[in-house]
Structure 1
Amino acid sequence: MAGPLSPSKSDSTVIIVLGASGDLAFKKTYPALFGLYKNGFVPQNTDIVGYARSHIELDDFRKRVSSKIKTSNDEEKSFLTKFLGRCTYVSGKYDDAESFKKLNEAVDNIQKNASGAKHRVFYMALPPSVFIPASEGLRQHVYAKDGNNRLIVEKPFGKDSESSDKLAQALSQHWQEEEARSPIYRIDHYLGKEMVKNLMILRFANIFFGAIWNRQYIDNVQITFKEPIGTQGRGGYFDEFGIIRDIMQNHLLQILSIVAMDKPQSLDAEHVRDEKVKVLRAIEPLTLDNVLLGQYTKSEDGKEAGYLDDEGVPKDSVTPTFAAAAFQIKNERWNGVPFILKCGKALDAQKTEVRIQFQDVPGNIYPGVARNELVVRVQPEEAVYMKFNNKQPGLSSTAITSELDLSYSRRYQDVKIPDAYESLILDVIKGDKANFVRDDELDAAWKIFTPLLHKIEGEKIKPELYPFGSRGPASLSKFVEKYGFKRDAEYNWSPPKM
């Protein structure tokens, strides 16, 4: 594939994965790179250099990479062998000039015979504590002089407004947000998910949605993230951040901004991100009055441990593992419409979805019917379905709830939905910034959450306890009802059986 990074076959592209010995690299980055390689989406002359502190022999490193990549046939196994042949590894420190010089020598050696441009993509799968020295070392010692440089930064992007600003200022000393040859790509993998990317098409390519996407017709919006697992030994890391930083401030807020934004002037990345920033700046900062916090305890049958039982979690921790918050957007389109974001661990199911609940039918002559809802199921079982009221078939004239259902497993059986990381790394290769977080967008997001986070942590606000495997805190239903949501207890959508 020829693209901005590889305009000709003579060009060379090297993707340097920093933190290459960590879980994120093995579980996400390398499998995504293999998927792109297998399907021909990376430039022809592409090599991958892993970099980390650990001393690992190349054969052992390649075995570890391949252990996380699934192959289903001989053709894929052949691709994997070729892919591994393009993967090398260099060990070194993140705050040592000599280490980065050694990395640069390895990359130079790969690109020495390239007759065209020599491009470099730096993927920092690193903890925030080493972002700054690593970015400085890359800029000073591994920067491509004869091609494009692109820096991918993984979340978390700070812990509050102050730390985020410091990180942004430090990165900007060496990497400029809008510099043509070395832009920053702040990656939030939810922006690479198929159904999140589909939100723009649904909203702005369908006239019937565009006409009703406002406070005149929509009563409330819910964006939900649920997972049935706890912290599973990662409690020490999780306790430092909590569910609000881990999920709500980034993943769910990104979805909110796409659902709520006005139509951009064009699909140009900056036009799209301009509209997202406008929405975030119109959101009032959260307060304790519009937030519900929870923390899971052991399951009712005693088989699953509680959060405080996780090794590394302080026994007196009040870090929330569940949060629900109601956001108010003070603009013409959404004034008075609550956006309810919910996220939690150790719940009863795995699900991420957007639920648009419309207002009651004015002067309704069929009392008791449920509200219309548009649901975008992000994961699992990707789908878009509309809940509507329909006549009960037969002699009855009763109105019942049914759905118009676009389930991807049925409609697109022959289409493999790409992994979110595949999608986003491909965007970097193409130079498309629309699905990445801009610095002013990050600043606006932290301003919404920082006062609340400081209050929770400063006053050690105790969360409501809920058992592992439940729907969350017992007061959740009252919380969402307070903001206008009406639950249809008799209706339950299920994905089609194939």
Structure 2
Amino acid sequence: MGSGEWCLQKRDSLRSDSFSGNENVPETGCLSIIVLGASGDLAKKKTFPALFHLYCQGFLPPDEVHIFGYARTKISDDDLRNRIRGYLVNDRSASPSEDVSKFLQLIQYVSGSYDGAQGFQLLDKEITKHEISKSSQEGSSRRLFYLALPPSVYPSVCRMIRKYCMNKSDLGGWTRIVVEKPFGKDLDSAEQLSSQIGELFDEPQIYRIDHYLGKELVQNLLVLRFANRFFLPLWNRDNIDNVQIVFREDFGTEGRGGYFDEYGIIRDIIQNHLLQVLCLVAMEKPVSLKPEHIRDEKVKVLQSVLPIKDEEVVLGQYEGYRDDPTVPNHSNTPTFATVILRIHNERWEGVPFILKAGKALNSRKAEIRVQFKDVPGDIFKCQKQGRNEFVIRLQPSEAMYMKLTVKQPGLEMSTVQSELDLSYRQRYQGVTIPEAYERLILDTIRGDQQHFVRRDELKAAWEIFTPLLHRIDNGEMKPIPYRTGSRGPAEADELSAKAGYVQTHGYIWIPPTL
């Protein structure tokens, strides 16, 4: 079966969520995708390009899909199309201008406020007009609302959608909303936001998007762990010494200083992206691939995490961060953090999970490093060269490789570090790896919540980090200055070493070239 046939079969097998009232009714109605915040950066750079690539791959048939942009800015349909056009063609898309033009013609713009009835009544009128034009049976249509907006307006926007823009009945149709992070700033604000949205929509209608869960290598984690026999006996505290989950950027806040200073690196990266990856690395095998079974196991991991100790945290702030005029002169916001999490269960007792993220560092990458324990009785005296590591490179240059010790070619019995390497660019030539947003939007249309954050999962994540974040916010913990273009504070490497991580010297993985 070809990949296109599989996609169609998979799509047809997925029915509407519980709000539809009848899971056996095929999804035959037209699909309206509404991007709220359509004139903002997120919509232009991520949401609309993702929709365009889905369109080019045949997942958004023009005979049944229409796209609406909604924002406060008073512009015309053509103005919005012109704003988007330049973001649709990039280095992975050689689509002819004809495809771009056809896609842009699917987009219509409606202007209105985020807390007033008039704009949403007009939006509903235009959506309904489209549904009638497609001869869609009333109640069978599908409405997907993508909130490319700051969380502060989620409650008012959701109230307006609920009151004025819902699918009118339950003949196989549905209404779903996609909300972007940050989901609050701590446990209380997250719970308040969840309650406000939860009063308006059922949980199966809410898709809390974390784009890391849409990345190809993150989605591969369950397959790697549970479909390969040789990983099953090794994936535990008897064999694994420590796990590092790392996010590094080689640039600073770049004009986002004011926004970033409200949140900091822990809220921006660690509490969501890296913690979600940790769940997939650490979770037990679910009883099936049903979304709820997978998310149940992720919640169990989060509930097993012990309180974070201050001595197992290193914070940093790069020199020059406060030179940004939008950043307060005495900002205590960390741009770098290393945090050690410990999971109190049978599989992971004693294994530190080292979460590390930072801006303005010496490289750009995101990866998982599973470091195994030393070989007992080392007859080759090669422990100084480094340990076995299984590395999953999430971005850039997606790859998986196992660092291992081999004999150096030649007449002498000397050893050297090398790797067994699966580099996607070399192994899967001609295969385009989809962007995370493409995959997640398609999952939303299909009604598959596996790669979205459930409410109890979100609560458990905030319970882990809120005490630490409050200590930082209150000035009880101070970031250490570090140079732009460095590895971050030296104290972070010292903490990792103290936790048991052994850095490999004299070896570096080089992505293969075609």
The alignment's TM-score, normalised by the length of structure 2, stands at: 0.92
In the alignment, structure 1 residue 294 sits paired with structure 2 residue 316 = yes
Q: Alignment partner of 2:219: what SS?
A: helix
Aligned twin of 1:118: 141
Tell me which residue corresponds to 2:462.
446
Q: Does the 8 A contact of 2:70 with 2:112 survive in 1?
A: yes
For residues 429-473 of structure 1, give each alpha carbon's deviation from its aligned partner in whole angstroms, at most 9, with x where no partner exists. 111100000000000000000000111111352210001111111
**How much does 1:237 deviate?**
0.5
Q: 1:77 to 1:488 in 2, by over 3 A?
A: same
Q: Distance in 1 between the 2:95 and 2:179 partners?
A: 33
User: Corresponding residue for 1:154?
Assistant: 180
**Alignment partner, residue 175 of structure 1:** 201
- SS in structure 2 opposite 1:143? coil
Checking the alignment, whether the CA contact within 8 Å between 1:5 and 1:148 is kept in structure 2 is: no
* 2-structure distance, mates of 1:462, 1:423: 39
Describe the superposition over 1:163-187 as per-residue Cα deviations: whole angstroms up to 9, x where unpaired: 0000000001101113xxxx10000
The Cα of 1:16 is off from its aligned counterpart by 0.5
Amino acid in the other structure paired with 2:306:
E
Superposed, which structure 2 residues align to 1:1-400 within 5 Å?
Answer: 1=8, 3=12, 4=14, 11-43=29-61, 44-70=63-89, 76-113=96-133, 114-116=135-137, 117-146=140-169, 147-178=173-204, 183-297=205-319, 306-369=320-383, 370-400=386-416
SS at match of 1:444: helix
State how far apart, in whole Å, the 1-side matches of 2:181 and 2:103 are: 27
Mapped partners of 2:475, 2:142: distance in 1: 49
In structure 2, the residue corresponding to 1:107 is in which secondary structure? helix
Please say if residues 121 and 150 of structure 1, whose CA atoms lie closer than 8 Å, have aligned partners that are also in contact: yes
The answer on whether the counterparts of 1:42 and 1:429 sit within 8 Å (CA) in structure 2 is: no
What CA deviation, in whole Å up to 9, does each residue of 1:187-211 have, x standing for no partner?
Answer: 0000000000011111011010111
Tell me which amino acid in the other structure corresponds to 2:340.
A
Deviation per residue, 1:285-314 (Å, 9 max, x gap): 2232211000001xxxxxxxx100112100
**Could you say what secondary structure the match of 2:376 adopts?**
coil
Task: For residue 203 of structure 2, give the secondary structure of its aligned residue in structure 1.
Answer: coil
Deviation at 1:136, TM superposition (A): 0.7
Q: How far apart, in 2, do the equivalents of 1:75 and 1:151 lie?
A: 29
The partner residue of 2:451 within 429, 435, 445 is 435
C-alpha contact 1:5 1:429 (8 A) present in aligned 2: no
Whole-angstrom distance in 2 between the partners of 1:53 and 1:350: 36
The total of aligned residue pairs comes to 486
Q: Is the 8 A contact 1:280 1:441 kept in 2?
A: yes
Question: Could you tell me how far 1:42 is from its partner in structure 2?
Answer: 2.4
Q: Distance in 2 between matches of 1:40 and 1:210?
A: 38
Cα offset, 1:133, TM superposition: 0.4
Q: Where in structure 2 are there 5+ consecutive unaligned residues? A: 1-7, 17-24
2:214–2:439 CA contact under 8 A, matched in 1: yes
CA contact (8 A) 2:15 2:446 kept: yes
Report the Cα offset of residue 364 of structure 1: 1.5
Mark the CA change 1:75 to 1:161 in structure 2 (over 3 Å): closer, same or farther: closer
The question of whether the paired residues in 2 share the 8 Å contact of 1:225 and 1:353 is answered with yes
Unaligned runs of 5+ in 1: 298-305
Q: CA deviation at 1:9?
A: 8.7
More divergent stretch after superposition (67-76 vs 333-342): 67-76
| CA distance in 1 between partners of 2:413 and 2:155 (Å) | 67
Counterpart of 1:48 in 2: which secondary structure? strand
Q: TM-score, normalised by structure 1?
A: 0.95
Which whole-Å CA distance do the structure 1 matches of 2:57 and 2:363 have between them?
33
Whole-angstrom distance in 2 between the partners of 1:95 and 1:436? 26
Secondary structure in 2 matching 1:112: helix
For the residue of structure 1 that corresponds to 2:232, the secondary structure is: helix
- Aligned equivalents of 1:399, 1:136: Cα separation in 2: 65
Does the Cα contact within 8 Å between 1:318 and 1:460 map onto a contact in 2? no
Q: Is the 8 A contact 1:326 1:340 kept in 2?
A: yes
Aligned to 2:437: 421
Q: What percentage of aligned pairs have identical amino acids?
A: 53
Deviation at 1:75, TM superposition (A): 5.0
Paired residue type of 2:212: Y
Q: Report Cα offsets for 1:314-359 as digits up to 9, x if no partner.
A: 0100100000000000000000000000000001111000000000
Please say which of residues 279-288 and 264-273 is displaced more in the overlay: 279-288
Whether 1:409 aligns to 2:425 is: yes
Indicate if the aligned counterparts of 1:159 and 1:245 stay in contact, CA closer than 8 A: yes
8 Å Cα contact 1:287/1:451 also seen in 2: no
* Structure-2 separation of matches of 1:145 and 1:38: 30
Distance 1:368 1:9, change over 3 A: closer
